[in-house]
């Protein structure tokens, strides 16, 4: 898992993040995703100053195993001087060896964040879910951790000041905020009271704004006036620019567009006001096609 001093901001990996959310719904099904309706509670991953670092890290690893329902998996965690925040050896199991950067012995508040990422690697490994290429696979891991209830810890590990900076994981802080906001919209959960980092909360707010915009894109009925005007023009010509997200096809014409929850593409006839349901995540959508 990466830990960078030069922190990237914005949404440079957004398409991969959205693909990761789609992949989770496809692999786990709607019911499988819904089984993670409760996030890891802050109290379960708290690390006191007087707790033995080796016993404490095993305890928190056990909490991640229980959250992800990996009852037969045993995490053996050690500390080592290394460049990255952590690493894991993925094997057949049931034992998995995790190494964390030695600095976590003293920076204990972020051990839960590091383990959320590494144990998620095991979960995805057992699911047989992976993306090609190291970068995209790490983005999948961060997205899965955040969407399935453990990754709020990764965003809370983000801190930045004029003299120092820290971020864990491969998503930008705002992208973590985006995924957590997507989760909040899907599960009715508000993670903001859990953030101990003011910068993490600010990133969550920015990500939440981007996530809310997904629900206001044409042909969704909640789209704004300018979006509706552009959609009406594109509908007349049956041509749309790629950045709009929607596309027209067939005769009689149909419009395809991404579900704002899971980003699976939905196809509807072009016929005005209609109510649709995403077959993947079961989100009900008011549309004006």
| pLDDT level of residue 3 (50, 70, 90 thresholds) | low
Best CA proximity match to 57, nearest among 92, 86, 91 = 86
pTM for the predicted model, two decimal places: 0.94
Best CA proximity match to 117, nearest among 40, 41, 170 = 170
Mean pLDDT for the stretch of residues 145-172: 92
Element (H, E) at 98: strand 95-101
Instruction: Give residue 16's pLDDT.
Output: 98
Instruction: Give residue 87's pLDDT.
Output: 80
- How far apart CA 111 and CA 100 sit, in angstroms, is 8
Give yes or no for residue 5 having a pLDDT over 60: no
Between these two residues, 80 and 152, which has the higher pLDDT value? 152
- Model confidence pLDDT, tens digit, residues 195-220: 999 999 999 999 999 999 999 999 99
Instruction: Give residue 45's pLDDT.
Output: 92
Query: What's the whole-number average pLDDT of the chain?
Result: 92
Q: 39-48, 100-109, 180-189, 195-204 — which is least confidently predicted?
A: 100-109
Give yes or no for residue 2 having a pLDDT over 80: no
Question: Phi first, then psi: what are they for 129, rounded to 5°?
Answer: -105, 120
Contact by Cβ (8 Å): 220, 260: yes
Per domain, the residue ranges of the chain are 14-214, 225-288
Give yes or no for residue 124 having a pLDDT over 90: yes
- Model confidence pLDDT, tens digit, residues 42-97: 999 998 888 888 899 999 999 999 999 987 888 888 888 888 888 887 777 688 89
What share of the chain has pLDDT > 70, as a percent?
Answer: 98
Instruction: Report the half-sphere exposure of 201 (CA within 13 A, side-chain side).
Output: 8
Give yes or no for residue 226 having a pLDDT over 70: yes
Instruction: Give residue 191's pLDDT.
Output: 96
Mean pLDDT for the stretch of residues 243-264: 94
Give yes or no for residue 174 having a pLDDT over 70: yes
Instruction: Give residue 82's pLDDT.
Output: 85
């Amino acid at each position: 898992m990466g830990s960078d001093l030069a922190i990237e901001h914005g949404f440079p990996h957004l398409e991969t993040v959205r693909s990761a959310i789609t992949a989770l719904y496809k692999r786990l099904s709607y019911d499988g995703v819904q089984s993670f309706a409760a996030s890891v509670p802050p109290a379960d991953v708290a690390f006191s100053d007087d707790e033995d670092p080796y016993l404490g890290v095993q305890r928190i690893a056990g909490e991640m195993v229980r959250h992800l329902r990996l009852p037969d998996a045993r995490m053996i965690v050690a500390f080592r001087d290394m460049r990255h925040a952590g690493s894991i050896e993925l094997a057949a199991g049931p034992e998995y060896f995790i190494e964390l950067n030695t600095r976590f012995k003293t920076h204990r508040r972020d051990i839960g964040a590091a383990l959320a990422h590494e144990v998620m690697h095991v979960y995805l490994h057992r699911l047989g879910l992976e993306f090609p290429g190291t970068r995209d696979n790490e983005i999948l891991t961060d997205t899965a951790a955040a969407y399935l209830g453990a990754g709020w810890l990764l965003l809370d590990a983000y801190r930045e000041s004029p003299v120092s900076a820290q971020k864990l994981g491969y998503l930008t802080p705002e992208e973590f905020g985006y995924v957590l906001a997507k989760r909040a919209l899907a599960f009715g959960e508000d993670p903001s009271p859990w953030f101990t980092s003011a910068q993490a909360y600010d990133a969550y707010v920015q990500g939440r704004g981007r996530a809310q915009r997904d629900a206001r894109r044409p042909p969704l009925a909640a789209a704004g006036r300018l979006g509706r005007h552009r959609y009406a023009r594109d509908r007349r010509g049956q041509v749309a620019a790629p950045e709009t997200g929607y596309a027209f096809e067939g005769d009689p014409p149909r419009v395809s567009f991404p579900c704002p929850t899971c980003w699976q593409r939905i196809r509807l006839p072009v016929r005005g006001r209609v109510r649709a349901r995403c077959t993947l995540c079961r989100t009900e959508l008011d549309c004006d096609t």
